[in-house]
Amino acid sequence: MKLSTLTLAFAGLMTTTAFATDVTILTPYISSIPTNEMAQAFKAEGDKRGWNTTIIDTRNDFGQLASRIEDTVNAKPDAIVLISVDHNQVGDQVALAAEAGIPVISLDGTPGPNITVNVTSNNFDMGVALSRDLFEAIGGKGNIVKFFHSAHPGVHLREQGLDQVLTEYPDIKVVAEHYVKVPGPVDDSRVAMENFLRQFGDDIDGVWAAFDDPGIGAELAAESERPDAKFIIMGIDGNAQAVDMIKNCTHFKQTLRQDFPGMAAIGAEQLDRVLAGSTADASEMYVPAIPVNAESLGVTCE
């Protein structure tokens, strides 16, 4: 008996659908450029593999994040991917996933019980590198303002790197600090920096930005409040807008570029291994970051 092309195509579609891998990405930070980049990069990796990938964002609501993870476990996907999530905040929900036999991949988060693998940059080391580069750039002494967001596990590790380096530079003083609100980190930081500039003026020598968004906000504030100010800004992530500011010789002098697509690619590779019945290569895997400054961009700033 001969089967029509349409019948064969339909049968193939049904087979593909029946065996498609369902992956759910959950994050509280999709409005953050780096987090969104990771989510989209992982989805693209999934598309290459024929996975059905869904992205869920809870807009900085960690209670809702926990609830949505529980909903996802009940929906029984083949895998869960958490982006920029501290395991300690959702440990019970991750345990539920483990009990249901659902692997949990973490990107830019923290390792922990029932996390299959966490793929990230070494955030503590980046915090140390950012701090030393900033302190040396302002001559090893002076006043800095600090922009931070401790709710993000990686950003919190960068703050710990700053704390360590501050013990090595007794002449560096943190004269002001601001907990950055997310969503809307750029605008929130711009307003905070405008207030700092009115309060401290030329007494500010440097801006320590735990991630690029507040550094961008600080630069926008400088452009409106004190365009001739001499302080410098450094951050982390390699945000395209931050890189443009560095190219244009603004107060923003350096960022550490994280390889977010690389994190997504490694996370997808590790999930491939797990879905095939193997185990992840390690509980935590680091992807290197590189400094981006005028020199690396081939720009001469006076």
Which residues, in sequence order, are CB contacts of 249 under 8 Å at separation 6+?
A: 294, 299, 301, 302
* Gyration radius of the chain's alpha carbons: 22
pLDDT for 10 equals 43
Within a 13 Å sphere around the CA of 301, how many CA atoms are in the beta-carbon half?
A: 16
Tokens of 35: 């987090």
What confidence score (pLDDT) does residue 32 get? 87
CA distance 122 to 107: 12
Give the chain's residues under pLDDT 50.
Answer: 1-18
Q: Where are the domains of the chain?
A: 5-121+260-288, 123-257
Instruction: Give SS3 for 234.
Output: strand
pLDDT at residue number 164? 99
Q: What pLDDT score was predicted for residue 302?
A: 80
What CATH fold (topology level) applies to the domain 123-257?
Rossmann fold (3.40.50)
Whether the domain at 5-121+260-288 and the domain at 123-257 fall into the same CATH topology: yes
Give me the DSSP letters along 82-111. Answer: EES--GGGSHHHHHHHHHTT--EEEESS--
CB neighbour class for 258 (10 Å; exposed up to 12, middle 13-18, buried from 19) = buried
Class of domain 5-121+260-288: alpha beta
Please confirm whether the linkage preceding 183 is cis (ω < 30° from 0). yes
Could you give phi then psi for residue 173, rounded to 5 degrees? -120, 130
Q: Residues 60-93: pLDDT tens digits? A: 999 999 999 999 999 999 999 999 999 999 999 9
Residue 205, Cα to own-chain centre: how many angstroms? 27
